[in-house]
Amino acid sequence: MKSSPNTRRLTAALVATGLALSACSSRPGGDSGTSGTGTFSVWDPYPQFDGTSEWVKVIRKCGAQAGVDVERQAFDTTDLTNKVLLAAQQGTAPNVLVVDNPVVSTLAEGGVLKSNQDTGLDASGAAPNLVAAGQTGGQTYGVPIGANTLALYYNRAVLSTAGVDPAAIKDWVSLDAALARVTAAGKKGITFSAIGTEEGTFQFLPWFWGAGAQLTDLSSAEAVSALELWKSWLDRKYAPNSVIGNTQTTSWQEFATGEYAFAVNGTWQLGNAKKAGFEYGVIPIPSRTGGVAPAPAGGEFVTVPAQSGKDEEATAARIANCLTSPETVLATDTALTYVSAVASVQQQQVAAQPDFAVWVDAVKSAKGRTGDGLGTRYPRISQPLWTAVQAALTGSKSPKDALQAAAASAK
């Protein structure tokens, strides 16, 4: 039997995300489509939030404003992508989908999502650098609900003992000098995640982009300089060998011992930082020659999947526009420890928490991993990149040879 173009696109999307069509699942948790009784479904990747959370309260409020009841389902991020692709094949996709930003282009090209032009979803209030992660084929799909990214946490006492002023760290030379002074003072330098997964790529990208490298040219001289920087830290004992297997969680646990000067980590660790038992600060990750390095933008998009009729899509877009509007998003972004995608809300966040300004600046410089027209090509670039990082840090290949192999593989 001949397959439809849409089925072929969905199958390709499953392959692109490394997912297997192992079974046809029923709608999780009950009816996930429009029931005909005014009930609309919202799926999100926030299982940590129950019905008493601010996030769920906002969902219900937005459904009421659109004149419908809302049934919300929450899944682990990876599980959510799988379920959405399978549900789309079965015609049971949710009305509103909140999904990790690198997945948006895959779902769009698979025919799962409707463009903002088709639905009336409005991304004009969000920062263009964040919206870029949801753009493919000249169309925009969804609106960023907020963003997180990476910066450098530092231990004030460790730096003070070593005579290091964090405000003087503006580029790689000054960061290296700080690490040298810290280790000479008998303390530990910097910890990060270089694990052979997307987390490793995510953590490497600020240094890669901060060197002036592009994901379309993994073996450039700029890319090599970034990997040489990381390798030099291990060689000079500025960073522990454990970074090769560190996740962002285990890297944070190392920093939380109070022995390290710096940790590369994200906004999601702010709560843990306040419980660490020592004074900390945050500075942007510096570019090679100065300024703030572009770090990858994390966070989710609120999107509208394809539905049975224009009326359903229009109602879903009203719910989605409400979820991302300045009037409602502050509570959500605060609960998620996200920097808002909306400038006016960012100002409110900084007014309430002045030390959040560093994160706002970092997000303003952030880049979408699927941006620059990469779209669904990004996973085929990311995996060779993290493989190269692993090869260089373990010493099985030089940074130059490792990145040349990555470039060949990415093609």
- Could you give the C-alpha distances from 67 to 37, 38, 180, 316, 331, in angstroms and in order? 11, 8, 61, 11, 22
The domain in which residue 160 lies consists of 150-295+374-410
Average pLDDT over residues 91-119: 95
- Whether residues 139 and 158 share a domain: the answer is no
Which residues, in sequence order, are bridge partners of residue 190?
262
Instruction: Give the count of domains, the chain.
Output: 2
Q: Are residues 280 and 174 in the same domain?
A: yes
Q: What pLDDT sits at residue 36? A: 38
190 and 45, same domain (yes or no): no
Q: Are residues 17 and 124 in the same domain?
A: yes
Q: Are residues 98 and 35 in the same domain?
A: yes
Compute the mean pLDDT over every residue in the chain, rounded to the nearest whole number: 90
pLDDT range class, residue 191, cuts 50, 70, 90: very high
CATH code of the domain in which 38 resides: 3.40.190.10
pLDDT at 182: 98
Say which residues have a Cβ less than 8 Å from residue 180's Cβ, sequence separation at least 6.
Answer: 236, 238
In terms of domains, do 309 and 379 share one?
A: no
For the cut 80, the answer to whether the pLDDT of residue 317 exceeds it is yes
SS3 category, 140: strand
Query: Has residue 233 been placed in a domain?
Result: yes
Q: Does 369 map to a domain?
A: no
Does residue 258 lie in a domain region? yes
Whether 70 and 166 map to the same domain: the answer is no
Judge whether 318 and 66 are in contact, CB under 8 Å: yes
Say whether both 270 and 312 belong to one domain.
Answer: no
Per-residue confidence band for 26, with pLDDT thresholds at 50, 70 and 90: very low
Nearest to 288 by CA among 173, 153, 194: 173
